[in-house]
Amino acid sequence: GQNIDQPTEMTATEGAIVQINCTYQTSGFNGLFWYQQHAGEAPTFLSYNVLDGLEEKGRFSSFLSRSKGYSYLLLKELQMKDSASYLCAVRDGNYQLIWGAGTKLIIKP
């Protein structure tokens, strides 16, 4: 079956750096997405990786290794507003999105 694993919850300190990991096993691969979801709100797009390597966008970066079935989202200079859930999603060989359960990130002052 298809599966995406990410930690349920992480805690970090304001101003620090945090890395949220995502491992996946899917039938085919056509890209990996990261979304941010604040409590009570809809998910919003953060990043997209389809080739191996690091994609940087401001304070957020996302890395992909297709051979390892692995990605991470790196958040730098953490701010209180970064407290949210971070969802990893993989587009499989049929171009269907498979979603992880999400990682709840708690930022402490």
Q: Give the footprint of another protein on this chain (CB under 8 A).
A: 8, 30-31, 33, 35, 41-45, 48, 87, 89, 91, 95-97, 99-102
CB of 16 to another protein, least distance (A): 26
Distance separating alpha carbons of residues 95 and 101, to the nearest angstrom: 19
The residue (of 4 and 18) whose beta carbon lies closer to another protein is: 4
Least spacing, CB of residue 30 vs another protein, in Å: 7
Q: In the chain, where does DSSP find H-type helix?
A: none
The smaller minimum CB distance to another protein, of residues 95 and 109, is found at 95
What is the nearest approach in angstroms of another protein to the Cβ of residue 100?
A: 6
Nearer to another protein, 89 or 107 (CB): 89
29 Cβ contact list (under 8 Å, min separation 6) = 66, 90, 91, 92, 93
Burial 63-81 (b: 16+ CB within 10 A, else e): bbeeeebebbbebeebeee
